[in-house]
Structure formats: C-alpha cells, structure tokens
Amino acid sequence: MAKLHTVSLKLNGKPVEVSVEPRELLIHTLREKLAHTGPHIGCETSHCGACTVDVDGMSVKACTVLTVQCDGAEILTVEGLEQGGVLHALQQAFHEEHGLQCGYCTPGMLTRAYRLLQENPDPSEQEIRFGLAGNLCRCTGYQNIVKAVQSAAKKLAAAQAVAA
C-alpha cells in the first residue's frame, strides 16, 4: 500500500482534511471518503463532464485530477450550491424549465453552469452552448438546459440589482 498523504481543503465552504493515496482521483475522494455523491462517475476519461466540480474558481473534471493536487484548494460541488435549504437559482431554474430528465449529468451541468455565470453573468444562447460543451447529456437535447441557464442568469441579475 502506498504512503498516505493528508490533504487539507475547503469543501463547500467547510475545512476538511482527508488521507489519500498519491494516485487517488478527486472524484473517488469526494464520493467514497467525503460522502459527496453529487458529482457522478461517468466515462472516467474527461469526456462526459458528470464529475465536474469547481476548484479554486475553475470548472474541473474530478476524474482527471489527483486529490493531492487539491491540497489547499477550495472545492465546490453541486451540494454546495444550495444555501440554508434554499436552492440556488440554477437548481430552481433546472427544475422549472425541465432541464433534466434522468439526472445523471445534472450535477456536473449545474456546477459548470454556475462557473459559466460567474465568468459571464449574461451569456447568449451560443455562449451557454459553448460553455457547457464539455458536459454531455443523453436525454434532454440541451434546449431546456440552455433555457434554464438563461432563466437563472436573469434571476441572478435581478437579485443583484435589488441588492445594489
């Protein structure tokens, strides 16, 4: 057995320490050791995006990152989007716009869409499609996913205008 390394990180805003083997992938640490099962294991080759999480402000496919590379990082998973029992605008919009069917891709889509809206709060349909291109969905045909992201962008902009 390989020597274990202790990795310290912030997971959905909470400090966490976890012991991992040097070769352990972030997706396995999240699901098996930290019980954050929102990110899914899909293709394990970085093609599907079901495992997408946010690491230090960047969308990352957790099946391609070693946990030891995340020492000191801030990680956001789909579980961290809702706050205080209130769904994030994206989660609510996916529900309202029927942006999911089987739900397997949804955690990765939501997490990637969250970062997309951080990067571009008012994306066009084309920018949304391009921004989500690394996340595959076999069920929806993407149209309702795009509508959900557009809806969430409007809600977030309105909430920010009220707060200002």
Q: 């400090």: which residue's tokens?
A: 15
Q: What does the alpha-carbon distance between residue 54 and residue 41 come to, in Å, rounded to a whole number?
A: 16
Domain with 60, as residue range(s), is 5-78
Q: Pick the last residue of a domain from 53, 78, 103.
A: 78
Q: At what angle do helices 106-119 and 143-163 cross, to 10 degrees?
A: 50
Q: What does the pLDDT look like over 152-161, one tens digit per residue?
A: 999 999 988 8
CATH number, domain with residue 107:
1.10.150.120
Could you tell me if 19 and 55 are in contact, meaning their C-beta atoms sit under 8 angstroms apart? Answer: no
pLDDT of the chain, 164 residues: tens digit per residue: 679 999 999 999 999 999 999 999 999 999 999 999 999 999 888 899 999 999 999 999 999 999 999 999 999 999 999 999 999 999 999 999 999 999 999 999 999 999 999 999 999 999 999 999 999 998 888 999 999 999 999 999 998 888 87
Q: What does the alpha-carbon distance between residue 128 and residue 147 come to, in Å, rounded to a whole number?
A: 9
- Predicted pLDDT of residue 44: 82
Q: What does the pLDDT look like over 56-86, one tens digit per residue?
A: 999 999 999 999 999 999 999 999 999 999 9
- Predicted pLDDT of residue 55: 98
84, part of any domain: no
Do 113 and 64 share a structural domain? Answer: no
83, part of any domain: no
Do 95 and 34 share a structural domain? Answer: no
